[in-house]
Structure 1
Amino acid sequence: MSVNPTEVPGIRYGELVERRAARQPDRPAILFDGTAMTYRELSERISAFHAALLEVGVRPGNRVLCMSGNRPEILIALFATGRCGAIFVPVNPAAPAIEIAGLVRDSAPAVALWDEDTRVVLEQAVGLSGCEGDSPPVRLRSIDAPRPVPAIAPAPHPVGPDDPAQLIYTSGTTGTPKGVVLTHGALFWNQINLLLGLDVCSDDVTLVNTPMFHVAGLNTLAVATLGKGGTVVLHRRFDAEACLRAVREHRVTTLFAVPTMLGLLSRHDAFPAADLSSLRWILSGGSALPPDAVTVWARLGVPVLASYGLSEALSVSFRTPTQAAAKAVSSGPPALLTELCVVGPDGSALDPGEIGEVVVRGSHVAAGYWNRPDATEEAFRDDGLHTGDRGMIDADGSVVIMGRIKDMIITGGENVDPVEVEHAVAAHPAVAEAVVVGVADPLWGECVGVVIVPAGPNPPSLSELQEFLAPRISRYKVPRRLQTADTLPRTPAGKILRTEVGRLLNDHGDTSPAKTP
Structure 2
Amino acid sequence: MTHSAAPAVPASAIGHMPTGLRYGELVERRADRQPRRVALVHNDRQWTYGELLTRIHAAAAFLIDRGVRPGDRVVCFSENRPELLAAVYACARIGAVFAPVGIASTAEELVHVLVDLDARALLVTEETADKAAEAATPSAVPRYLLASSNHLALEAIPRHTDVVPEAHAPEPEDPALIVYTSGTSGRPKGVVLSHRALLANSVNTLLGLDIVSDDVTLVNTPFSHTAALNTLAINTLHKGGTVVIDRGFDARRCLDQITRHRISTLFAVPSMLALMIQDPGFDRADLTSLRWVLGGGAPMPPALVAAWAERGIPVLASFGMTEAGPSVSFRRTSDAQGKSASSGPPALLTDVRIVSPAGTDCPPGTVGEVWVRGPHLASGYWRNPDATRATFVDGWLMTGDRGFVDEDGDLCISGRSKDTIITGGENVDPAEVEHLIAQHPAIKDVAVVGRPHPVWGEIVTAVLVTDEPVSRDDLQDFLQPHLAKFKIPRSVEQRSTLPRSSVGKLLRRELTPPADSPTTPP
Q: What is the TM-score when the length of structure 2 is the normalising length?
A: 0.94
**Per-residue deviation, 1:507:** 3.1
Match of 1:43 among 40, 45, 53: 53
> Does 2:305 align with 1:294?
yes
User: Aligned equivalents of 1:144 and 1:361: distance in 2?
Assistant: 39
Equivalent residue number for residue 438 of structure 1: 450
> Does 2:362 align with 1:350?
yes
1:285 is matched by which residue type in structure 2? G
1:343 is matched by which residue type in structure 2? V
Greater CA drift, 378-387 or 77-86: 378-387
Does the Cα contact within 8 Å between 1:5 and 1:160 map onto a contact in 2? no
User: Aligned equivalents of 2:177 and 2:521: distance in 1?
Assistant: 51
Equivalent residue number for residue 141 of structure 1: 144
The share of aligned pairs that are identical, in percent, is: 50
Does the Cα contact within 8 Å between 1:434 and 1:453 map onto a contact in 2? yes
Match of 2:251 among 235, 240, 248: 240
Match of 1:201 among 209, 212, 223: 212
Q: How many pairs align?
A: 503
Task: Say which SS state the counterpart of residue 515 (structure 2) adopts.
Answer: helix
Equivalent residue number for residue 152 of structure 1: 163
2:110 is matched by which residue type in structure 1? I
User: Aligned equivalents of 1:87 and 1:459: distance in 2?
Assistant: 50
Does the Cα contact within 8 Å between 2:415 and 2:432 map onto a contact in 1? no
2:143 is matched by which residue type in structure 1? L
> Does 2:281 align with 1:278?
no
2:515 is matched by which residue type in structure 1? D
> Does 2:403 align with 1:403?
no
Match of 1:228 among 239, 255, 272: 239
**Per-residue deviation, 1:94:** 1.6
Q: Describe the shift of the 1:52–1:434 C-alpha distance in structure 2 as closer, same or farther (beyond 3 A).
A: same
**Per-residue deviation, 1:414:** 1.0
Equivalent residue number for residue 59 of structure 1: 69
Equivalent residue number for residue 383 of structure 2: 371
User: Aligned equivalents of 1:35 and 1:155: distance in 2?
Assistant: 29
User: Aligned equivalents of 2:96 and 2:72: distance in 1?
Assistant: 5
**Per-residue deviation, 1:434:** 1.0
Equivalent residue number for residue 154 of structure 2: none
1:406 is matched by which residue type in structure 2? K
> Does 2:319 align with 1:311?
no
Greater CA drift, 360-369 or 483-492: 483-492
Does the Cα contact within 8 Å between 2:463 and 2:493 map onto a contact in 1? yes
**Per-residue deviation, 1:200:** 0.3
Task: Say which SS state the counterpart of residue 323 (structure 2) adopts.
Answer: coil
Alpha-carbon RMSD across the aligned residues, in angstroms, is 1.6
2:251 is matched by which residue type in structure 1? A
1:253 is matched by which residue type in structure 2? S
Match of 1:415 among 422, 427, 444: 427
Equivalent residue number for residue 463 of structure 1: 473
Match of 2:35 among 11, 22, 25: 25
Equivalent residue number for residue 499 of structure 2: 489
Q: Describe the shift of the 1:4–1:117 C-alpha distance in structure 2 as closer, same or farther (beyond 3 A).
A: farther
Match of 2:90 among 80, 84, 106: 80
Q: Describe the shift of the 1:420–1:46 C-alpha distance in structure 2 as closer, same or farther (beyond 3 A).
A: same
User: Aligned equivalents of 1:357 and 1:508: distance in 2?
Assistant: 36
User: Aligned equivalents of 1:513 and 1:391: distance in 2?
Assistant: 30
Task: Say which SS state the counterpart of residue 7 (structure 1) adopts.
Answer: coil
Does the Cα contact within 8 Å between 1:481 and 1:511 map onto a contact in 2? no
Match of 1:451 among 463, 480, 483: 463
**Per-residue deviation, 1:88:** 0.4
Q: Describe the shift of the 1:245–1:508 C-alpha distance in structure 2 as closer, same or farther (beyond 3 A).
A: farther
Deviations 1:383-430 (A, max 9, x none): 511111111111111011112111110101111111111112111110
Match of 1:107 among 96, 117, 122: 117
Task: Say which SS state the counterpart of residue 475 (structure 2) adopts.
Answer: helix
Does the Cα contact within 8 Å between 2:491 and 2:521 map onto a contact in 1? no
2:65 is matched by which residue type in structure 1? E
Does the Cα contact within 8 Å between 1:30 and 1:37 map onto a contact in 2? yes
**Per-residue deviation, 1:511:** 9.7
Equivalent residue number for residue 117 of structure 1: 127
1:448 is matched by which residue type in structure 2? V
1:236 is matched by which residue type in structure 2? R
1:500 is matched by which residue type in structure 2? E
Q: Describe the shift of the 1:508–1:285 C-alpha distance in structure 2 as closer, same or farther (beyond 3 A).
A: farther
Deviations 1:37-91 (A, max 9, x none): 0000000000000000001100000000000001011111100000110110111
**Per-residue deviation, 1:156:** 1.2
**Per-residue deviation, 1:510:** 8.0
Q: Describe the shift of the 1:508–1:197 C-alpha distance in structure 2 as closer, same or farther (beyond 3 A).
A: farther
1:375 is matched by which residue type in structure 2? A
Task: Say which SS state the counterpart of residue 196 (structure 1) adopts.
Answer: helix
Deviations 1:313-353 (A, max 9, x none): 01000101101011101100001111111111222211111
Equivalent residue number for residue 251 of structure 1: 262
Does the Cα contact within 8 Å between 2:122 and 2:142 map onto a contact in 1? yes
Gaps of 5+ in 2: 1-8, 149-156
**Per-residue deviation, 1:4:** 6.4
Q: Describe the shift of the 1:97–1:303 C-alpha distance in structure 2 as closer, same or farther (beyond 3 A).
A: same
Q: Describe the shift of the 1:51–1:202 C-alpha distance in structure 2 as closer, same or farther (beyond 3 A).
A: same
Deviations 1:255-308 (A, max 9, x none): 000000000011100001010001100001000100001000111110000000
**Per-residue deviation, 1:6:** 5.2
Task: Say which SS state the counterpart of residue 342 (structure 1) adopts.
Answer: strand
Task: Say which SS state the counterpart of residue 10 (structure 1) adopts.
Answer: coil
Deviations 1:209-253 (A, max 9, x none): 011111111111011100100000111111111111111111110
Q: Describe the shift of the 1:321–1:4 C-alpha distance in structure 2 as closer, same or farther (beyond 3 A).
A: farther
1:496 is matched by which residue type in structure 2? L
User: Aligned equivalents of 1:377 and 1:398: distance in 2?
Assistant: 28
Does the Cα contact within 8 Å between 2:221 and 2:249 map onto a contact in 1? yes
